[in-house]
Chain A
Amino acid sequence: MSPTSAPLLLEARRLVKTFPGVRALDEVDLTCRRGRVHALVGENGAGKSTLVRILTGNMAPDSGEILLEGRPVRFHDPRDALAMGVTAVYQELTVLPDMSVLDNVLLGQERTRRGLLRRDDERRVARQVLARVGLEDVDPGARAETLSLANQQLVEIARALARQTRLLILDEPSAVLSGDKLESLFEVVRTVARQGVAVVYISHRLEEIGALADDITVLRDGRDVSSGDAAGYDTTRIIREMVGRDVDTVFPALPQPGREVVLKVRGLVPAGGHGGVPPIDLDVRAGEIVSVAGLVGSGRSRLLRTLAGAHPRDAGTVEVAGRRVRASVRDAVAAGIALVPEERKTDGLVLPLPVRANTTLASLRSVTTGGWLSARREREAFNLEQRRLQIRAAGSDQGTWQLSGGNQQKIVLAKWLRTQPSVLLLDEPTRGIDVGTKAEIYRIVRELAAAGMAVVVVSSDLPEVTGLAHRVIVCRLGRVVGELSGADITEEKVMNLALGLGEVAS
């Protein structure tokens, strides 16, 4: 079917959604036609998941409208969207582990007669949709928890098939699938589309998009960069549009790193990784900034957490300036390793406390006298850091929750800098932070490196990955798949490695 002849099902017009500090969606349009698979692509944080949440009624847009078959609709709750035939398979599994497979498949759409469940009916429906996703061997009575992650994902899809669906949204359904399972997923998507359902398909695997998509919309930084027939897109174009930017963050010049190796990692295997992952070796010199790139779930954060002693290791050694570091947070901190975690609001800060208390949390000894905290010394400590990092806070007693994301992140940095670390690990240091503060954080990181600190940065932000570091290490599926340095560091090369496409000419 050609794009214009296929009947229009859903139209999203100029959707806007703002979170504190971030414009997650900026006047995004999306058009879904019956019988066509519409691929939604974009980097992590481009706004795909926000768009899905709005289309499914999990979240209300700040402005903009949604038209279903030409009529404007408002979804106040997922129930409204489901009632109109908009069904989604979410990236985070919503399978209930303690319920049976059968109950999971029919969750929210139980078949009843006079108030009582019609078990035979339910079992028949469940068997039928389970067979369609290739799970005919699964016992519908089994507890969902006993299924593999891949099969739980397929249960999720079966659940959507059991509904009367007009628009099916699949948010990274393939992330945990491979081989046969992937094939049955593709088959399901194609069949569903043939039956006249409009499909929105979100995936990081560009080869899947080539195989499935009829239409493509590229999102970047909350905007729809381009949209059109899939025939007009090749991999190079998609990647270019995903990463290309019009705003360039200014990265200050890189000072030369020193000679001395500060962080020395040999044969490190983080616990609970994918099977058969080769051990990781890594040397970071004084004054060197190394960034670790890769898609979400590629094992980047786990690597950092392992280095910081917050995640157990199966094998390997970590040395800081020649000193062996045991796999414990206390020992890592004692050795001079500091981790600025990804989840600053839960792992990095105690939000209800005043800013001075968060600033001194990792270095309490320095502000105590005979075991008693001195508020005066705590205020002095905060004032010092406030000047050094240009933290915008009303005063040392302001509640940490009242600060903007960028200033909260500076508090986390300050907290660790007070421990005088020699190795600084940063996990998504600028997520959810406005452009101006981003540049300030880059400047701070550079200055710290210039002062001799070894820095490792994990980031999904490609300009950050490429612009901030001396070297880039790319992870994919829990293993290091490539290393780039100097002039070799380009966003295209990083993206190609992260997607497993090898060296595609850019």
Chain B
Amino acid sequence: MSSVSAAPGARTSRWSVATAARSGLAAWVIVALLVLGLTVKDPSGFWAPANIANVLTGTVVLGLAALGQHLVVLTGGIDLSVGSMATLSALLTAILINGYPIRTLPVVLAMVVLGLLVGLGHGLLVSRAGLAPFVVTLATFYLLQGVAFMISTTPTGQVTSALTSIGLRRSGPIPWSLPILVVAAALVAGVLRSTAFGRHVYAVGGDRAAARSNGVPVSRTLVLAYGAGAALAALAGVVLAARATVGSPTAGQGLELSAITVVVVGGTSLLGGRGSLVGTLGGVTLLALVESSFTLLQLPATLTDLIRGLVILAAAAIFVTRTRR
């Protein structure tokens, strides 16, 4: 119904759809519809604590990567290296911990710092050297994956039981890893809302020249945004390792595209300066829901990519503000 009324000419409804997309509610509307559909189809299966926990677990890794992507996209950039960053971090986590509980915390912190450094590099290349974000992060996408393959071509290493239980255990429908995402999301939301840096992120993405003219520290803003983005991707890698219990040189493959997908589906403009975290989180939930319902409905997993493509296209057609000159 809402998609029909958004046809050209329906001025007021187009406006309200645009508003819905801007506030990020649109993705949640689809989530609600999907939940409704799944409840009708298989109420006991869907609402079983194990299934809910499964859906929520699916949101954690994707959500962490998407939070970082959200920041970068708001500045008008893009980070294609998210998946490779997560892979490298997952691999290194398992190898460096190698079963020694005492190493858990230092290694996890080291991974976040590693991500931060990679991101700072992105930010400097984009802001100081003036390179296109797409190119810079495409290069590190290959570089980081290459480094991972140099370290090992097969799954290796061993995480500790502390990490494993965070990765795999649940209390009823709540997976133990969910608080990581909740805390990270709250932090990102708070920074965007209540710090000068947060404002600058929107300003730099909205109009870089205007931001510069008004004394916004453009370079510092870009460097911090890319830094935080890659650090969050590295954290996603740690969670990946915790869930797999070993480190795999392909752990995070494809994560960059999933992260971009949910940011776009959440209504954030790829041109920068406009977007809502609520929408991105809605996109995360939506994608996790779609993927888990394949198992629930016993559909062939090979259809995932097909459905994903349709979801993006539909979201772009209905919710994403069209860019015309």
Contact = CB atoms under 8 A, between A and B. Distances in A.
Interface of A: 56, 58, 77-79, 82-83, 88, 90, 94-99, 103, 106-110, 112, 115-117, 159
Given A94-B207, A97-B206, A110 B213 contact: no
Nearest to A58: B213
B273 A117 contact: no
Given A110-B196, A112-B195, A116-B195, A96 B213 contact: no
Contact of A95 (B195, B202, B210, B216): B210
B203 A96 contact: yes
B196 A117 contact: yes
B213 A56 contact: yes
Contacts of A103: 199, 202
A88 B203 CA distance: 18
B274 interface: yes
A107 B221 CA distance: 13
Contacts of B207: 94, 96
9 contacts: A56-B213, A78-B213, A83-B215, A94-B209, A96-B273, A107-B199, A108-B215, A108-B216, A112-B196
Nearest to A90: B213
Contacts of A77: 212
Contacts of B202: 96, 98-99, 103
Nearest to A79: B215
* B interface bracket (residues with beta carbon within 8 Å of A): 10 to 19
Interface of B: 194-196, 199, 202-203, 206-207, 209-217, 273-274
Contacts of B217: 79
Contacts of B274: 98
A117 B195 contact: yes
Nearest to B195: A115
B214 A94 contact: yes
Contacts of A83: 215
B214 A159 contact: yes
A411 to B, nearest CB: 24
B29 to A, nearest CB: 22
Which of B195, B196, B213, B273 counts the most A-chain CB atoms under 10 A from its CB?
B213
A108 B194 contact: no
Contacts of A94: 207, 209-210, 213-214
Contacts of A116: 194-195
Nearest to A96: B206
Contacts of B212: 58, 77-78
A77 B199 CA distance: 20
Given A107-B199, A110-B196, A99 B206 contact: yes
A90 B209 CA distance: 12
B203 A107 contact: yes
Contacts of B210: 94-96
A78 B202 CA distance: 19
Contacts of B203: 96, 99, 107-108
A83 B212 CA distance: 13
B196 A88 contact: no
B168 to A, nearest CB: 36
A290 B120 CA distance: 58
A272 to B, nearest CB: 14
Contacts of A112: 195-196
Nearest to A116: B194
A98 B271 CA distance: 12
A58 B195 CA distance: 26
A79 B195 CA distance: 19
A97 B215 CA distance: 18
A88 B194 contact: no
A88 B206 contact: no
Given A96-B203, A115-B195, A116-B195, A108 B273 contact: no
Top 4 A-B pairs, shortest CB-CB distance: A94-B210, A108-B215, A110-B196, A108-B214
A56 B216 CA distance: 14
Nearest to A115: B195
Nearest to A111: B196
A90 B214 CA distance: 10
Contacts of A99: 199, 202-203, 206
A56 B212 CA distance: 11
Nearest to B191: A115
B324 to A, nearest CB: 14
Contacts of A82: 214-215
A167 to B, nearest CB: 15
B172 to A, nearest CB: 35
A306 B89 CA distance: 58
Given A58-B212, A79-B217, A117-B194, 6 more contacts: A95-B210, A98-B202, A98-B273, A107-B211, A107-B214, A117-B196
B195 A108 contact: no
